Amino acid sequence: MPPANRHNPVRAKSSQSLYSLHEFLREFPDDEACLTWLWRERHSPDGENAYCPKCETERRFKRYRTKQQRQSWTCTACGHHIHPTAGTIFAKSSRPLTDWFYVMYLVSSSRCGIAAKQVERELGCNYKTAWRMLNRVRNELMQQDDAPLGGEGVPVEADEMFHGGRTRESERRALRAQGIGNRGPATKPRPVVFGAVERGGRIRASVVGMSRNAQTMRDTLCEFVLPKSMVFTDDWCGYDPLTNTGRYTHRRFATPSASTSVATYILRPSKASSGTSRRTCAGRTTPSPSGSSTPTSTNGSGSGIVATTTKRCSGNCLTAQRALTSARL
């Protein structure tokens, strides 16, 4: 086995990371790379042609070097300027784009959240600036979209989970002392979170109470997902009526074990998403060629839930890449 190249570190397959610091630094080494990324993401996928609002058609844009801090691309036909940072959280900021991108990376890669004091120390800015940057990243990039998910034939995956950690043995003992036996996941009173993920990018999740009530789950699903969507759930019997209502095309993930539910991908995705196996609706478990999360479906439209998630649920379920995509305000 050849020795690893220390100048080109590669993310280990066993790593829980979905997007390492090395990958981030390689992709966004300086302000120029960040600005070009914004330009391509927001206006011009090919980096050259973009829609000119003044000409009202697609035009070729060129970058002219100026001494201005606010860099822009210029329409070669009419001279209209497009500023990639206009209308985003980066507009009129005195901090470099690399700082903003790094804060987004920190927020999206941390499991426990980031303190403004840490940002202050890492960026060398004052506390007020650090707080403001964090506040804008959290409140403006992480807002949940209340629009319903799916649509005719659009695959949406849904599941619920108990939030609050496993029941510890000491807690079991305390419950047994009170005469409360083992009731499975409901043994310990914990809030139940229901989430639905649209393959393609959006997620909706909310706390639905302190117990897993099947009717509540189905009602929440109907609230989150448009009729005629293709809904994927696990094999919990609470979702059985979905098959007969005719509101959705209902498909099931046959889970090899209780610990690998869709919720594992939605709310605890870091390890699950980089698992070495992929689940199929037919109940087979096939080896995954890459470490990516790609639950497949019978219609062949499988896509990774985590890879398509744009909202941060907890921990590092959102790659920095996706957080940066959300910057398109």
Rounded Cα distance between 130 and 114, Å, is 11
Sign of CA dihedral 166, 172, 174, 180: positive
Give whichever of 54 and 173 is closer to Zn ion, judged by the CB atom. Answer: 54
Amino acid identity for residue 149 in this structure: L
Rounded to a whole number of angstroms, the minimum distance from the CB of residue 58 to Zn ion is: 10
Around Cβ 19, how many Cβ atoms within 10 Å?
A: 20
Instruction: State which of residues 77, 91, 115, 282 lies at the interface with Zn ion (CB under 5 A).
Output: 77
Instruction: State which of residues 54, 111, 128, 183 lies at the interface with Zn ion (CB under 5 A).
Output: 54
Rounded to a whole number of angstroms, the minimum distance from the CB of residue 34 to Zn ion is: 25
Largest distance between two CA atoms of the chain: 80
| DSSP result, 212-226 | --HHHHHHHHHHHB-
Q: Are 190 and 162 in contact (CB under 8 A)?
A: yes
Q: Are strands 192-198 and 57-63 parallel, antiparallel or unpaired?
A: unpaired
Give whichever of 55 and 258 is closer to Zn ion, judged by the CB atom. Answer: 55
Give whichever of 75 and 104 is closer to Zn ion, judged by the CB atom. Answer: 75
Rounded to a whole number of angstroms, the minimum distance from the CB of residue 61 to Zn ion is: 8
Give whichever of 56 and 146 is closer to Zn ion, judged by the CB atom. Answer: 56
Instruction: State which of residues 25, 78, 115, 282 lies at the interface with Zn ion (CB under 5 A).
Output: 78
What are the backbone dihedrals phi and psi of residue 148, each rounded to the nearest 5 degrees, phi first?
Answer: -65, 155
Instruction: Pick the piece of the chain touching Zn ion (CB under 5 A) from 79-87, 107-115, 224-232, 239-247.
Output: 79-87
Amino acid identity for residue 325 in this structure: T
**Within positions 105 to 134, which residues make up the interface with Zn ion, using CB under 5 A?**
none
Counting every residue, how long is the chain? 329
Instruction: Pick the piece of the chain touching Zn ion (CB under 5 A) from 27-35, 52-60, 131-139, 268-276.
Output: 52-60
Give whichever of 75 and 137 is closer to Zn ion, judged by the CB atom. Answer: 75
Instruction: Pick the piece of the chain touching Zn ion (CB under 5 A) from 57-65, 125-133, 216-224, 252-260.
Output: 57-65
- The footprint of Zn ion on this chain (CB under 5 A) covers a number of residues equal to 8
Instruction: State which of residues 11, 60, 80, 172 lies at the interface with Zn ion (CB under 5 A).
Output: 80
258 part of the interface to Zn ion, by CB under 5 A: no
49 part of the interface to Zn ion, by CB under 5 A: no
What are the structure tokens assigned to 2, written together?
């050849």
Rounded to a whole number of angstroms, the minimum distance from the CB of residue 57 to Zn ion is: 8
254 part of the interface to Zn ion, by CB under 5 A: no
Torsion on CA atoms 174, 268, 276, 212, rounded to nearest 10: 60
Distances in Å between the alpha carbon of 22 and those of 17, 98, 170, 305? 11, 14, 41, 24
Rounded to a whole number of angstroms, the minimum distance from the CB of residue 278 to Zn ion is: 47
Nearest to 36 by CA among 56, 23, 22, 50: 50
Cβ-based burial of 165 (10 A; exposed 0-12, middle 13-18, buried ≥19): exposed
52 part of the interface to Zn ion, by CB under 5 A: yes
53 part of the interface to Zn ion, by CB under 5 A: no
Instruction: State which of residues 4, 12, 55, 258 lies at the interface with Zn ion (CB under 5 A).
Output: 55
Instruction: Pick the piece of the chain touching Zn ion (CB under 5 A) from 75-83, 128-136, 217-225, 231-239.
Output: 75-83
Strand partners, 197: 157, 203
Q: Which residues contact 138 (CB under 8 A, 6 or more apart)?
A: 107
Judged by the rule CB under 5 A, the positions of this chain that interact with Zn ion are: 52, 54-55, 59, 75, 77-78, 80
